[in-house]
Amino acid sequence: MRWWCAAVDAPWSWVPRPYIGVWILCGALLALYFRSRAVYRRDHPDAPADPKDRRRAVWFVLGTGFLWVASDWPLGALGAGYLSAVHMLQYMLYTLGAAPLLLMGMPEWMLRNLLRHTRLDTAYRLVANPVVAALLFNLVLIATHAPVSVDALRSTQVGSFALDMVWLLSGIILWTPVVSPLPERQARSAPAKLVYLFLAAAVVPMIPGGFIAFSPEPLYGTYELAPRIGPSALEDQQMAGVIMKVGNLPVIWTVMAVIWFRWYERDQADVRRRRDARRVAAARASGERLSTRATRGTATADGPAGAGPAGADPAGTATVTAPGASAPVATAVPSGPDLN
């Protein structure tokens, strides 16, 4: 049994063939994740329950699922040695599916502990810089899609494994400034995230994608000399180029839309909050005027003028007390042109 998908000479077969290394990796990820959570809960019994905890677990399991689908039979085997289009689809699943979901699935304490124990804090801090992250992600993209790299790495299980893991790592680097569990490692503002994602993940990959799609000859010996399944070597490569060129756009633009709408909602909430604060401040000022007038016996609050002692509470609302009553019977919110 082969432990990881690599290019083979044998014709393609639809008989399922699991790869033990993929199952071990995915199983180990899930086991470590849930064990860490259990240990953390045991060691921090007084830690407040995090309402996002369950959702994070779902993200992590989904991310592991993406990793498994991209690596195991049939996609893993097809992408390793038969079709460059599937090879490119694998790349998308690693970098745009598994990587962000695994990152989003990690609680803040887990990533902090992981970085501390592996002594990778400084490295993570550096790659979280959007410029560094964008450069590294695109450097990996270009280096790992160069024909010489693909042909050399896909021919062995170790090389193929290394290629897949480098893709996963580059995906984690790409998404760190956007969805890192460590808030201080995310890009500082929503507009910064939008610009970063647009340039790093949407624009740059179009260049190698176009080069692959419009090449007049097959670039990858691995796929050109593989037993054919469906399209010709050149058609397959053209599909791969198109996938690299535009396949990421639905994901990237959806994420950008979510960031933009959340930013917009936050902005609107800020506007509402500021308006409410102005109203309260104005009400206070108005209440003070009301209180002054009431003292002079010329109150204009709802109710008969001079019907009883009137005052203003600290919130700026004028209260009117009925004659002979000890408690206020009506509360009037002052209104004026500046409050509406």
Interface residues toward another protein, by CB under 8 A: 9-11, 44, 108-109, 112-113, 116, 119-123, 125-126, 136, 139-140, 143, 146, 148-149, 182-184, 216-218, 221, 224-228, 232-234
User: Which of residues 233 and 283 has its CB atom nearest to another protein in the complex?
Assistant: 233
User: Which of residues 131 and 148 has its CB atom nearest to another protein in the complex?
Assistant: 148
How far is the C-alpha of 182 from the C-alpha of 179, rounded, in Å? 8
From the list 74, 62, 1, 64, the residue with the least C-alpha distance to 29 is: 64
What's the min distance (Å) between Cβ of 304 and another protein? 47
Task: Give the type of residue at 118.
Answer: T
User: Which of residues 122 and 340 has its CB atom nearest to another protein in the complex?
Assistant: 122
User: Which of residues 128 and 301 has its CB atom nearest to another protein in the complex?
Assistant: 128
Q: Which residues contact 181 (CB under 8 A, 6 or more apart)?
A: 103, 104, 106, 107, 108, 110, 111
Task: Give the type of residue at 337.
Answer: P
What's the min distance (Å) between Cβ of 142 and another protein? 9
Q: What are phi and psi of 271, to 5 degrees?
A: -60, -45
Torsion of CA 20, 64, 32, 184, to 10 degrees: 140
Q: Which residues contact 4 (CB under 8 A, 6 or more apart)?
A: 19, 21, 22, 71, 76, 157, 158, 160, 161, 164
What's the min distance (Å) between Cβ of 152 and another protein? 9
User: Which of residues 11 and 306 has its CB atom nearest to another protein in the complex?
Assistant: 11
Question: Alpha helix (H) ranges present in the chain?
Answer: 20-43, 53-71, 75-81, 84-92, 99-105, 108-118, 121-127, 130-145, 147-153, 157-179, 190-197, 206-213, 221-224, 233-246, 249-295
What's the min distance (Å) between Cβ of 307 and another protein? 46
What's the min distance (Å) between Cβ of 71 and another protein? 21
User: CB-based burial of residue 74 (10 Å sphere; 0-12 exposed, 13-18 middle, 19+ buried)?
Assistant: middle
User: Which of residues 116 and 274 has its CB atom nearest to another protein in the complex?
Assistant: 116
Q: Which residues contact 26 (CB under 8 A, 6 or more apart)?
A: 64, 67, 68, 71
What's the min distance (Å) between Cβ of 283 and another protein? 26
What's the min distance (Å) between Cβ of 189 and another protein? 13
User: Which of residues 189 and 292 has its CB atom nearest to another protein in the complex?
Assistant: 189
User: Which of residues 37 and 112 has its CB atom nearest to another protein in the complex?
Assistant: 112
What's the min distance (Å) between Cβ of 130 and another protein? 17
